[in-house]
Amino acid sequence: MAESTKRAANNLEAILSQKDLKGVEAALYPKPQAANTVIPAGYSGTSEDIKRRHALLGVSEEYLGRLLPSGGFDELEVFSNNAENLVGVVQVPLGVAGPLRINGIHAQGDYIIPLATHEAALVASYHRGALAITQSGGCTTMLLNEAVSRSPGFVFDNLIETGKFLAWLLPQEGRLREVAESTTRHGKLIDMSATIEGNHVYLRFDYHTGDAAGQNMVTIATQAVCDFIRKNSPVRPKAVYVEANQSGDKKASSQSFQHVRGKKVTCEVELPAEVLKRSFRATSRQMEDYWRISALGGALSGTIGLQGHYANGLAALFIACGQDAACVAEAAVGMTRFEARGDALYATVTLPNLIVGTVGGGTGLPTQRACLEILGLYGAGKAKAFAEVCAGVVLAGELSIIAALATGNFSRAHEVLARLRKRQTHD
């Protein structure tokens, strides 16, 4: 990645103002001596093991105590299956927005939305958008597709071997399905595709994962398939990798709009002029005009998808509800579109990569389960509804932030809800 010579010179000058060249060189060399403190690896969440780890952290008892839940050391055992080298829990402020009315295939009703964040103004913004949607009769949401993918890679000597390998493999799809599904009660292998790149073969396996987000489920199933291939293929691969980075796992990718990873959901609402005026002090023309320039700005900057800030609401909702927060990297890919219809505004969002679940992972942890219970979406049979609610939350956030930017109130909202409030707290 290129840096301008001016910036590079400024950076070098700043470094040399703190140390001479020899000092910089010494700082950058590897240091072979043993570490002063080594945290022993372990899965145990017993009080004794956690206290031993605390003793190695070099932090005062006052701050170590703040890492403990209200039940103290004994309560931490609940979390031992979700984090290794356990030392405590981190509290994140939790707010609620809504009600958000969802008219979906799977989600129906008014939902109170739990959002875990330390960003002032975020909950207020989503609350404003949610109320505007509800006052307009709710948003219509539809789950369009679902699959969780894993993409193993195979290396051969040459292109001839890759062709022979695929000639053997493709008729084996039924057997591969049996192998994959033998590892899980809920997962189903629904599709398989192949990409050849010279002597490399990338396979893509798509699974249904029930009401779990399914990342671990599909990894274990795909590993079993890879083991079967390694053992039975007449053309033995030189190397096999359970994930060769073609699935799009936890990263934004251009293939998002050709496939689905997780659950693909689209959502729309039409806001009457009176709701726009009351909720946002905006007109449909103002909203469409800002959406247009922001969409072009996103295209000019090379963003994947066109949207304002999906990651804000999804991260807050994922953390609150026990989802894998890193999946926001791909879940936040999507398309927002605003269209003035006379004085009314039509708004829609589409998200092709919602990796979400209502069982497994972090969903059973105490506060995360409580947040899913607030939504009425904990447990089996609720994941599709949760995905539709996610889309409604994202739409609420897009409406609110675009209204703030279109009317010139974005900076003022952050000043009032963040900086001024902090000043009052500290005065």
At residue 413, does pLDDT exceed 70? Answer: no
Rounded Cα distance, 115 and 94, in Å: 6
CATH of domain 152-241: 3.30.70.420
Residue whose entry in the numeric block shows the structure tokens 């999906």: 310
Q: What are the C-alpha distances in Å from 164 to residues 117, 161, 169, 183, 244?
A: 53, 5, 9, 28, 20
- Give the other-Cβ count within 10 Å of 141's Cβ: 26
Residue 2: per-residue pLDDT: 59
Question: In angstroms, rounded to a whole number, what is the distance separating the alpha carbons of residues 357 and 377?
Answer: 10
Q: How confident is the model at residue 424 (pLDDT cuts 50, 70, 90)?
A: low
Q: Write down the pLDDT at residue 391.
A: 98
Q: Predicted confidence band at 14 (pLDDT cuts at 50, 70, 90)?
A: confident
DSSP conformational letter for 145: E
Q: What is the DSSP string of 236-252?
A: --SEEES--S-S-TTS-
Q: Are strands 239-241 and 188-197 parallel, antiparallel or unpaired?
A: unpaired
Residues marked active site are found at: 119, 324, 414
Q: Does 155 have pLDDT greater than 80?
A: yes
| pLDDT tens string 362-400 | 999 999 999 999 999 999 999 999 999 999 999 999 999
CB 100 within 8 A of CB 393: yes
Locate the DSSP E strands across 198-238: 200-208
- Cβ-in-10-Å burial (0-12, 13-18, 19+) of 391 comes to buried
Q: Do domains 94-146+262-426 and 152-241 have the same CATH topology?
A: no
DSSP letter string over 314-338?
HHHHHHHTT--GGGHHHHT--EEEE
Q: Which two tokens stand for residue 123?
A: 């909950």
CB 74 within 8 A of CB 32: no
Quick: pLDDT tens for 105-133.
999 999 999 999 999 999 999 999 999 99
Classified by CATH at the fold level, domain 94-146+262-426 comes out as 3.90.770
Q: Kind of pairing, strands 262-271 and 139-150?
A: antiparallel
Residue 416 has pLDDT above 80, yes or no: no
- The predicted model gives 257-281 an average pLDDT of 95
Q: What is the pLDDT of residues 23-42, one digit of tens each?
A: 878 888 888 888 888 888 88
Closest C-alpha to 191, from 228, 233, 224, 146: 146
Location of structure tokens 């701050």:
63
Task: Provide the residue ranges of all domains of the chain, joining segments of one domain with +.
Answer: 37-91, 94-146+262-426, 152-241
Q: Give the mean pLDDT of the chain.
A: 92
pLDDT digits (tens, 9 = 90+) for 312-365: 999 999 999 999 999 999 999 999 999 999 999 999 999 999 999 999 999 999
Check pLDDT > 90 for residue 9.
no
